């Protein structure tokens, strides 16, 4: 009876039932092989039927149950993989965002005339006071730093920020000016002008024209992250009608605290620049990266500092033929850099 019913469905099913009901111990191995072969053929038949049939013809429970089962089995794995993906994506976006912002900034400063930009920054000087005691990245007794004249100064000092010139920190060259913004502080020669880029952006767009795609892209980045651009300045002595020449820009971004610092350095390069030198230091418990890059018309030295969940990028850039003569100024300036934790 069962065999007749099975024949109406499939010859393979009927054959399988015959061998399951056969009570000959000596033929069990052959029976097992035959059962496996029958199951394989049945599976092929079912797959062929499933492919040719529309999912809408099956009852809703037959469509939904396998999905629910799969979700239950893989829920823990999915959560773990999702967490890892978010960490990796966050790290990549941080580095790419910094590189993109710096790339646009350099392009604008080199491509557009400096007279309008100079006027924009000079018209309304902007400074923000640091309200809490910052940490100064100057100190280290590292033998590696002491033996390399191009590396950061190892003298350690702690100074409270103040607008008054009477409390200028030791080591700051006479006559230099202090620039503050976005929780950062930096000293530069008196010929430098600048301020808070987010406050000056609208004036820049009006002066340079709001329809330029490069400027609009850069403006979009700044608008999305206004607090990320701490300080922006340029040297009036190097500025001319075609470019600003020497510039400095400080960017801060939130990062995942466990992000590998070396990976951040590798991903921080801008398109179109050639890496000339890369070093990593550890100063007073902070990781500091120093990168020198060569562009088509410019050369830059970039310092990257990781402070737990914050990444600081301090960029000094100048024309290729002026970079070496300004490098000593850049290196003296980075020794005055402070940031608020």
| 118 plus 258 within the same structural domain | yes
Residues 270-319 have pLDDT tens digits of 778 999 999 998 888 888 999 999 998 899 999 999 988 899 999 999 99
Residue 56's alpha-carbon distances to 46, 59, 61, in angstroms, are 17, 8, 11
The CA distance from 90 to 300, in Å, is 26
Q: What's the total number of domains in the chain?
A: 2
Least confident of 87-96, 211-220, 268-277, 295-304: 87-96
Torsion of CA 273, 277, 282, 283, to 10 degrees: -90
Strand 229-235 relative to strand 247-254: parallel, antiparallel, unpaired?
Answer: antiparallel
Element (H, E) at 169: none
Co-location of 118 and 194 in the same domain: yes
Domain termination residue (choose one: 12, 39, 57) = 57
Most confident of 124-128, 188-192, 197-201, 232-236: 188-192
Are 184 and 269 contained in the same domain?
yes
Is 82 domain-assigned? no
| Residue ranges making up the domain that contains 130 | 91-339
How far is it, in rounded angstroms, from Cα 212 to Cα 311? 30
- Report yes or no on 74 lying in a domain: no
62 inside domain: no
Tokens of 78: 């999915």
Top mean pLDDT of 33-47, 50-64, 315-329 is at: 315-329
Clarify whether residues 14 and 158 are in a common domain: no
Q: Are residues 190 and 295 in the same domain?
A: yes
pLDDT at 191 over 90: yes
Q: Does residue 69 lie within any of the structural domains?
A: no
Q: Is the pLDDT of residue 144 over 70?
A: no
Instruction: Let me know whether 193 and 253 are in one domain.
Output: yes
Q: 219-222 long-range CB contacts below 8 Å, 24 or more apart?
A: 221/97, 221/100, 221/101, 221/104, 222/101, 222/197, 222/198
Same domain (yes/no): 51, 95: no
Same domain, yes or no, for 162 and 308?
Answer: yes
Tell me the average pLDDT across 123-137.
Answer: 39
Is position 212 within any domain?
yes
In contact, 294 and 274? CB cutoff 8 Å:
yes
26 burial (CB, 10 Å; 0-12 / 13-18 / 19+) is exposed
The average pLDDT across 23-33 equals 57
163 secondary structure, DSSP code: S
101 plus 209 within the same structural domain:
yes
CATH number, position 151: 3.40.1000.10
């Amino acid at each position: 009876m069962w065999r007749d019913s099975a024949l109406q469905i499939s010859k393979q099913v009927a054959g399988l039932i015959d061998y399951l009901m056969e009570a000959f111990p000596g033929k069990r191995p052959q029976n097992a092989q035959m059962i496996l072969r029958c199951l394989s053929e049945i599976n092929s038949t079912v797959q062929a039927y499933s492919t040719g049939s529309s999912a809408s013809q099956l009852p809703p429970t037959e469509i939904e149950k396998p999905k629910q089962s799969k979700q239950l089995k893989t829920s823990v794995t999915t959560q773990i993989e999702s967490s890892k993906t978010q960490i990796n994506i966050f790290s990549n976006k941080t580095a790419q965002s910094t590189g993109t912002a710096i790339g646009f900034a350099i392009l604008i400063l080199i491509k557009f005339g400096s007279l309008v930009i100079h006027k924009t920054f000079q018209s309304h000087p902007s400074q923000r006071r640091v309200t809490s005691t910052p940490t100064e990245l100057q100190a280290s007794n590292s033998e590696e730093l002491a033996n390399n004249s191009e590396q950061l100064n190892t003298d350690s000092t702690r100074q409270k920020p103040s607008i008054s010139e009477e409390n200028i920190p030791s080591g700051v060259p006479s006559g230099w000016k202090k620039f503050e913004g976005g929780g950062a502080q930096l000293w530069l020669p008196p010929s430098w002008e600048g301020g808070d880029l987010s406050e000056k952006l609208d004036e820049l767009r009006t002066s340079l024209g709001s329809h330029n795609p490069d400027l609009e892209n850069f403006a979009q980045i700044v608008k999305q992250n206004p607090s990320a651009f701490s300080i922006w300045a340029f040297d009036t002595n190097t500025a001319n009608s075609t470019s600003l020449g020497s510039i400095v820009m400080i960017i801060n971004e939130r990062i995942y605290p466990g992000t590998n610092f070396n990976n951040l350095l590798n991903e921080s390069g801008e398109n179109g620049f050639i890496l000339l030198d890369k070093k990593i230091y550890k100063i007073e418990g902070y990781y500091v990266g120093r990168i020198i890059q060569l562009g088509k018309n410019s050369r830059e030295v970039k310092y990257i500092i990781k402070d737990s969940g914050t990444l600081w990028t301090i960029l000094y850039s100048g024309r290729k033929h002026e970079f070496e003569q300004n490098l000593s100024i850049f290196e003296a300036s980075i020794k005055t850099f402070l940031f608020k934790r």
